[in-house]
Structure 1
């Protein structure tokens, strides 16, 4: 056996030993913490679900024999007696996209070890999320009580509009609500110094990114929710 073969064998053996050590320690997998790895797996599964929902929506809309409601007419607000198309939706989208910015800043401060600013920005992000959900509830109430839209019927056109709209936007709204609760809980723990007791290699070496990694994990979830809204916005309100 030549030298190169021996070296390759040793490298492969070392790699497998490191993999076994990572998984058996119950702390990280493939040099990624379990918390971050599990969040990525969850987001991947959620991507499949939203993809199926949106694909089903596009299929139903294309195959519908009845006329599909015009978004600029359905989602409009009257200001001074003049209907303004998609005004509320534009505000909702702006708020949710802005929340991604505050969440990114929270992660930045967490990496620097500034838990106060990180928690403050997480609370700001959660407040943005609350406003978004509140505006979505107003939108639902307008469609149900004013326009008469139901999951099984729609006086403005195709009956499938109500079922697909309420299912997909409701599922997304549920994710935003869960994210708001998640952010408030993590922010409260940051302010109480809950994560100051974390002792690991990253924290002991002066790197705060591992001590406050929960902020980055929460940020992954929140950015995913914002990204999904971009697709919902494009398919429901612009198409």
Structure 2
């Protein structure tokens, strides 16, 4: 047992270290996305008309559905964390896979949205659909849009992979209870991904649309 816990003194020490490590990682992620939101703060004011024109071309319906999907997925994943704390192993996998399924649906819808935007020539470049004095600001907006949604999508793929890993751990644990810490740490990451989207949604779809 001592060898299994090395270099930790106790299971509690191990769990607290894992949670603290995830918080430290998320702090570094805040710096990454914070830089993106600084871009929004600057260019949405210096190129306000073009930025707002870009916002008005985004698909509000898909963005709204995806927001509901992510909020619901986080709510469902909390059922998995509660099941882990209570030692109900069988309840972890359905809740976790439900959250992962909603995450995959989010990515499918986002891919479809990207496809529509490429067809409408909204990717920054020579054939950009928005012309006139608003073109420069709109291209800045869509440069931010594609970069931010790509980064968020990458984080979602990592989160889905972690949820599947949790399910694998539960399934192959040989009847022994899985540490709630494992489920909690993945839940922290998934909640962070959800929070980033909640902040991105008004920036990408609402502010400047009226």
State if a TM-score over 0.5 links the two structures. Answer: yes
The structure number with the bigger radius of gyration is 1
Compared with structure 1, are the counterparts of its residues 213 and 64 closer, same or farther at alpha carbon in structure 2 (3 Å cutoff)?
A: same
Identify the match of residue 42 of structure 1 among 17, 21, 25.
25
Q: Secondary structure at the match of 2:87?
A: coil
Distance 1:125 1:65 in 2: 37
SS at structure 2 position matched to 1:107? helix
Which runs of structure 2 are paired with 1:206-221 in the superposition (5 Å)?
211-221=179-189
Conserved in 1, the CA contact under 8 Å of 2:58 and 2:204? no
Structure 2 equivalent of residue 118 of structure 1: 92
Higher relative contact order (CA 8 A, sep 6+): 2
Pick the structure with more helix per residue. Answer: 2
Distance in 1 (alpha carbons) for counterparts of 2:88 and 2:13: 28
Question: Helix, strand or coil: the match of 2:50?
Answer: coil
Unpaired runs of 5+ residues, structure 2, are 1-5
The answer on 1:235 being equivalent to 2:206 is no
Corresponding residue for residue 7 of structure 1: none
The correspondence of residues 176-187 of structure 1 with structure 2, limited to 5 A, is: 176-187=156-167
- Give the Cα separation in 2 of the matches to 1:51 and 1:213: 28
- Which residue of structure 1 aligns with residue 51 of structure 2? 68
The structural deviation recorded for 1:191 is 1.8
Shift of 1:106: 0.7
Aligned pairs (5 A) from 1:82-161: 86-145=60-119, 147-152=120-125, 154-156=128-130, 157=135, 158-161=138-141
**Where in structure 1 are there 5+ consecutive unaligned residues?**
1-22, 77-85, 199-210
| CA 1:90–1:65: 2 relative to 1, 3 Å | closer
Richer in strand (by share) = 1
Partner of 1:54: 37
Give the number of equivalent residue pairs.
195
**How well do the aligned residues superpose, as a CA RMSD in angstroms?**
2.5
Judged with a 3 Å threshold, the aligned counterparts in structure 2 of structure 1 residues 114 and 61 are, in CA distance, closer, same or farther, namely same
Task: Tell me how far 1:26 sits from its aligned partner.
Answer: 6.6
What is the TM-score of this pair, normalised by structure 2? 0.83
Preserved CA contact (<8 Å) 2:15 2:181: no
- Distance in 2 (CA, whole Å) between partners of 1:109 and 1:140 is 37
Are residues 45 and 184 of structure 1, via their aligned partners in 2, closer, same or farther at CA, if it must alter by over 3 Å?
same
**Preserved CA contact (<8 Å) 1:106 1:117:** yes
State the TM-score, normalizing by the size of structure 1.
Answer: 0.74
Query: CA contact under 8 A between 1:152 and 1:162: conserved in structure 2?
Result: no
| CA offset digits 1:50-69 (Å, max 9, x no partner) | 11111112212211276224
Alignment of 1:175 onto 2:155: yes
